[in-house]
Amino acid sequence: MNQPDPTERYSREAVRRTVMDPPSLDPENRRRLKAIARSVAAQYRDDSLSPGMIAGIMRLLEFALINVVGHLLCAMQVHDPTVPHIYYVLLITGGSTVCIGALSIADGYDVACLRRPFAYLNRLVTAVAIAFAMVALAAFFLKIGAFYSRFWFGSWVLATFSALFVLRFAVSRLIMRWSRNGRIERRAVIVGGGELAEGLIRQLENSPHNDIRICGIFDDRDDHRSPPVVAGYPKLGDIDDLVEFARIAQIDMLIVTLPLTAESRVLMMLKKLWVLPVDIRLAAHSNALQFRPRSYAYLGDVPTLAIFDRPITDWSSVAKRVFDIVFSLAGLILFSPIMIATAIAIRLDSPGPVFFKQKRHGFNNEEIDVYKFRSMYTDQCDPTARNAVTKGDPRVTPIGRFIRKTSIDELPQFFNALFGSLSLVGPRPHAVTAQAHDKLYGEVVDGYFARHRVKPGVTGWAQINGWRGEIDSEEKIEKRTEFDLFYIENWSLLFDLKILLLTPFSLFNTENAY
């Protein structure tokens, strides 16, 4: 397993010396430990590649490679004027697609398979052979086999085997280099210490081809029940500290090393941790209770049980980003006359800037700047949103009243979506200090911050279901959170498109928009 070089990451001995003093008994030591945890978290790379992203890139590369090989051989070998070239184009495209599908079904894009092409050569050969056999059978049953050169088809099959192996060999060298320098990894934190955590770490270390990097251990128990150092890894804090650490270090996975019999402790921890945009796994390496093999999610050779999965990851996040860019540009072009007219009206209506900037919670609870058209008098603007706008609010300008009711004031957020701080569709971002009945939203709704497991949106599922405008009761923020969590758990591009198309119709409901 690839673990961090102490000279590049942090001094394990320095951390060990600090944590050997029980921080729970000494506030100064506890502050020092938190500072070390933040320092450790800040040192991890920002440009790491996830296994899912690498698998997606390989699919695209291999699809392109199979196509290129087929077309090159066709150009060199096929000179039959009676067969339209489009026939070969269709067969090559279809054959490439079937090959990629067969390799995916055979787990040919697992990082372990890509890292060791010789060890998994039989998987590559079998999957590609089955794919080309299916293409040949389809051509036979469709009675189109006579259109194609058999010599060309055989050459394509052999050349594809060779080209894919050469590509995979080159990629394996890259993956090994990326593994050494921390570019490819899944960052994991152990939740819970003691013998179970030590056993898990030892098994991971003895599994040479996994991509897990252990970043530290967190446990609520004191040092008498949970040692400050386990298998050479320091305990960096308790569960509350873990939430902050995971956000700074961009942790991918939490591995809970508690027995299934400790049900109440497991549930208590999960209640705190599910708000993070991470995979949560329950270690199953030492459980007497055995499940079916397909029930386990393996980290190398170590079995775990999947409790939560991070939403919208890898290529799904890429597809959503492309969706945001395309439709944000379209929205800016479509609504540019309205935006220009609004800017002029605001300047004529009252002195001050056209735009209004507000700090709001973004993805992973980070603070972002969200832009709107200014709808209030400049000297009465409320960037903190501590005092919600109410019906007939004297702080709102005449033009502001109209653009708030019609949601025209939100149009500048197309720029937020275009540049990436917002998504077009997602949970609406709330101001950092927004309150309902003198309580912060996070104090009103249990699990409120789980909304921030995905990037917030210009519009959302809650808004098109009537939950927009003023939040003057705890029920309203509870309902918004309920709809937002439903969106996160059921996300798809079609769902985003549905919400986007329904948004204009939801604007007719202006009952709570002041």
Q: How far is CA 207 from CA 55, 131, 200, 295, 351, in A?
A: 21, 32, 11, 20, 66
CB 388 within 8 A of CB 469: no
- Is residue 398, in this structure, part of any structural domain at all? yes
Do 235 and 292 sit in the same domain of this protein? yes
At residue 79, the pLDDT reads 83
**CB-based contacts of 504, cutoff 8 Å, min separation 6:** none
At residue 424, the pLDDT reads 93
- Start-to-end Cα distance in the chain: 57
Do 340 and 482 sit in the same domain of this protein? yes
Measure the CA–CA gap between 393 and 348, rounded to whole angstroms.
Answer: 20
pTM confidence score: 0.71
Neighbouring C-alpha atoms within 13 Å toward the C-beta of 219: 27
At residue 34, the pLDDT reads 61
- Is residue 34, in this structure, part of any structural domain at all? no
Residue 196 phi, psi dihedral angles, 5° rounding: -65, -40
At residue 3, the pLDDT reads 44
What is the separation of C-alpha 442 from the centre of its chain, rounded to a whole number of angstroms? 22
Do 364 and 493 sit in the same domain of this protein? yes
Measure the CA–CA gap between 77 and 83, rounded to whole angstroms.
Answer: 13
pLDDT digits (tens, 9 = 90+) for 36-64: 666 666 666 566 677 777 888 899 999 99
**CB-based contacts of 386, cutoff 8 Å, min separation 6:** 433, 434, 435
**CB-based contacts of 287, cutoff 8 Å, min separation 6:** 259, 260
Measure the CA–CA gap between 45 and 246, rounded to whole angstroms.
Answer: 14
- Is residue 173, in this structure, part of any structural domain at all? yes
At residue 238, the pLDDT reads 80
Q: Is 282 exposed, middle or buried (0-12, 13-18, 19+ CB in 10 A)?
A: buried
Do 161 and 81 sit in the same domain of this protein? yes
CB 359 within 8 A of CB 431: yes
Do 299 and 405 sit in the same domain of this protein? no
Last residue of a domain, one of 181, 209, 238: 181
Last residue of a domain, one of 181, 214, 230: 181
What total number of domains does the chain contain? 3
- Is residue 17, in this structure, part of any structural domain at all? no
Do 292 and 325 sit in the same domain of this protein? no
Do 168 and 205 sit in the same domain of this protein? no
Instruction: Render each residue's pLDDT in the chain as its tens digit; 514 residues.
Output: 444 443 333 333 433 343 334 334 345 555 555 666 666 666 665 666 777 778 888 999 999 999 999 999 998 988 878 778 888 999 999 999 999 999 989 888 888 788 888 888 998 999 999 999 999 999 888 888 788 888 999 999 999 999 999 999 999 998 888 877 767 778 888 888 778 888 888 888 887 667 788 888 888 777 677 777 888 887 888 877 888 788 777 788 888 887 666 667 777 777 778 778 888 888 875 554 555 555 667 776 777 888 888 888 777 888 899 999 999 999 999 999 999 999 999 988 888 888 888 888 888 878 888 999 988 888 777 666 666 676 777 888 888 888 888 888 889 999 999 998 899 999 988 777 666 655 666 666 767 778 888 899 999 898 888 877 666 677 778 888 888 889 998 999 999 999 999 988 877 665 655 4
Strand partners, 303: 298
At residue 8, the pLDDT reads 38
- Is residue 388, in this structure, part of any structural domain at all? yes
Measure the CA–CA gap between 213 and 211, rounded to whole angstroms.
Answer: 7
Do 304 and 319 sit in the same domain of this protein? no
pLDDT digits (tens, 9 = 90+) for 447-496: 777 888 889 999 989 888 887 766 667 777 888 888 888 999 899 999 99
Find tokens 């594809």 and name the residue: 160
pLDDT digits (tens, 9 = 90+) for 411-451: 999 999 999 889 999 998 877 766 665 566 666 676 777 88
Torsion of CA 149, 154, 155, 157, to 10 degrees: 130
- Give residue 106's domain range: 51-181
Do 60 and 176 sit in the same domain of this protein? yes
Do 283 and 338 sit in the same domain of this protein? no
Last residue of a domain, one of 245, 274, 308: 308
Map 329-353 to HEC letters: HHHHHHHHHHHHHHHHHHHHHCCCC
Do 144 and 197 sit in the same domain of this protein? no
At residue 22, the pLDDT reads 36
- Is residue 15, in this structure, part of any structural domain at all? no
Map 222-254 to HEC letters: CCCCCCCEECCEEEEECHHHHHHHHHHHCCCEE
The CATH number of whichever domain residue 296 belongs to comes to 3.40.50.720
